[in-house]
Amino acid sequence: MNEILIVLNGVFQNKKYLYSEIIDRYSTIIAVDGGYKFLQNIVDRKPDAIIGDFDSLDRDSKLLRNYNGEILKFPSDKDKTDAELAVDYCLTKGHQQISFIGAYGGRADQQFGNILLLEYAALNSIKARIIAPGLEIGLIEDKKTFNNKKNFIFSIFALTKEVTISSLRGCRYELDNYKLIRASSRGISNVIEKEESVIKIQKGKLLYFISKTL
């Protein structure tokens, strides 16, 4: 399956080579507004499309003069964020799997909104995740296997009111037939201890964070 990369106008920190490694894995890239500046100035990669209201990117700027890809400009007064419009664009193109970068860091409300994009994508039958160097955020609705993540921190949260976890294996704290409620912090700061870790969900939706210190 061809996974699409959506570059948001987020906080990238001083990790150019790490982001370059991520971006090089993708053949199709969509820039959301100011995310184009990151692609052009930092990693020197042109996206296939640019989407947004261009409040962070002047359409007549030097950056865009030599750009010959698809441009979709929206009014600043709209009911959806630029990132949500990018998901809609992927839906119209028939893309079924996407990753976001530039979604983490910056304003807390924008981070939270970006995390909720994962569920918005799932409701439209698109598999989505947020990635950054040493970080992955995603949803689990049935079963998820993590390979080669030994010693990574693994945290889970109930996205629905209650989640029934059939089993969790390969972690320091394993679970069987456990009900995790949305108000609980029980799932924070587990550690993957095996080369393969597997979690199975019987009912509900989980939000997971998997990270390591860089």
pTM over 0.85: yes
| Same domain for 147 and 123 | no
Whether 155 and 99 map to the same domain: the answer is no
Q: Supply the pLDDT for residue 10.
A: 80
The band of 192, judged by pLDDT with boundaries at 50, 70 and 90, is very high
Three-state DSSP at 8 gives: coil
Q: Is the pLDDT of residue 157 over 90?
A: yes
DSSP for residue 57: S
Q: State how far the alpha carbon of 21 is from the alpha carbons of 16, 17, 67, 137, 192, in Å.
A: 9, 6, 23, 18, 24
CATH number of the domain encompassing residue 159: 2.60.120.320
Domain end call among 133, 148, 182: 133
- Please give the pLDDT value at position 75: 83
pLDDT tens, residue by residue, 19-28: 888 899 999 9
Looking at residue 94, which CATH number applies to its domain? 3.40.50.10240
Co-location of 120 and 156 in the same domain? no
β-bridge mates for residue 164, sequence order: 179, 203
Q: How far apart are the C-alpha atoms of 15 and 17, rounded to whole Å?
A: 6
Residue of 11, 41, 14 lying closest to 102 (CA atoms)? 11
**Residues ≥6 apart with Cβ < 8 Å to 181:** 158, 161, 162, 163
Question: Which residue, 86, 104, 133, sits at the end of a domain?
Answer: 133
Residues 162 and 112 in one domain: no
Q: What is the CA radius of gyration of the chain?
A: 18
Do 123 and 33 fall into the same domain?
A: yes
Q: Are residues 8 and 107 both part of a single domain?
A: yes
Asked if 82 and 144 sit in the same domain, the reply is no
- In this structure, which amino acid lies at residue 100? F
Residue 1 has pLDDT above 70, yes or no: no
Residue at which a domain ends, from 79, 112, 133: 133
Residue 46 is part of which domain span?
4-133
Do 51 and 124 belong to one domain?
yes
Q: Total domain count for the chain?
A: 2
In the three-class reduction of DSSP (H, G, I as helix; E, B as strand; rest coil), residue 181 is classed as strand
pLDDT band at 163 (very low <50, low <70, confident <90, very high): very high
- Co-location of 34 and 101 in the same domain: yes
Do 81 and 41 share a structural domain? yes
| One domain, residues 70 and 104 | yes
Closest CA to 4 of 106, 103, 100: 100
Same domain? For 155 and 77 the reply is: no
d(C-alpha 132, C-alpha 114), whole Å = 13
